[in-house]
Amino acid sequence: MIWYKYLYLGETAKKHRFSILQKLRLGKLQPGVHVITPASGGHNLLDIQPAYVLRQNYYREQADLLIVGVGASYQDAVETVGRIVDETYRETGGFDVKTYLREKEDRLRKKR
């Protein structure tokens, strides 16, 4: 599992950032918490999954699984996805979220 360097957090998740992220890293159960990842396939832009799926063997073995956002609830995650997509469109004029996030990380890394 890889954490996006500029992790997006839902408004509610921001209030409990440390606790949520620590429990996710430790693999503890957190009812209601959802993670946002780049789309695994199809025509989706991003996937929203309950955090408990990260405890499954399939996801534990996915060393390259990128988590780009976290919501304290499904609604919090949906609103966060909306922010990510809106930001992508405003910055690029398109909806290629994967490329935008990668380029954003590269661009911000170069500024440092």
pTM comes to 0.89
Dist. CA 92–CA 70, nearest whole Å? 23
Q: Give the lowest-confidence range in 4-18, 55-69, 87-101.
A: 55-69
- Domain boundaries along the sequence of the chain: 2-111
Cβ neighbours of 99 (radius 10 Å)? 12
DSSP string, 12-67: HHHHTHHHHHHHHHHT---TT-EEEEE--STT-SEEEEEGGGGGSHHHHT-TTPEE
Q: Which two tokens stand for residue 38?
A: 């780049």
Q: What is the pLDDT of residue 88?
A: 96
The 3-state DSSP class for residue 90 equals helix
The predicted-structure confidence for 20-48, as pLDDT tens digits, reads as follows 999 998 889 999 999 999 998 778 899 99
pLDDT at residue 94 is higher than 80: yes
